Amino acid sequence: MRRASRLQFQDDDALVAERRRARVEIRAYSINAYCRAMSIGRSTAYNLMREGKLPFFTLGGKRLISADVVEAQIRGELPGQAQPRRKQAASS
């Protein structure tokens, strides 16, 4: 069995560092990621999809929500659809 040289490990480290620096743009959200971003439950998300209020697409049998849809919802540009919940101040 051949051992890897120290130079090879340095090259691997440089590659890993380069990949970390590269910005990865999210173009679609899974149901779970969407629910975390919008602070809603999964059943609510599935209800919105079933009612046609939340556009989605299927890729490999997995439902995904476009990042454009999420951004539009956050800006309030898609009326009648999910809006992120606001944290309520604690009552004292």
- Residue 13 maps to a domain: no
Does pTM surpass 0.85?
no
**pLDDT in 10s for each residue of the chain, 92 residues:** 555 544 445 556 666 677 677 666 778 999 999 998 888 999 999 999 999 999 999 999 999 999 999 888 888 877 555 555 555 666 55
CB distance 30 to 62 below 8 Å: yes
- Is residue 17 domain-resident? no
| CB of 34 closer than 8 Å to CB of 73 | no
Tell me if 54 is assigned to some domain.
yes
- Which domain does 49 fall in, by range? 23-82
Count of domains for the chain: 1
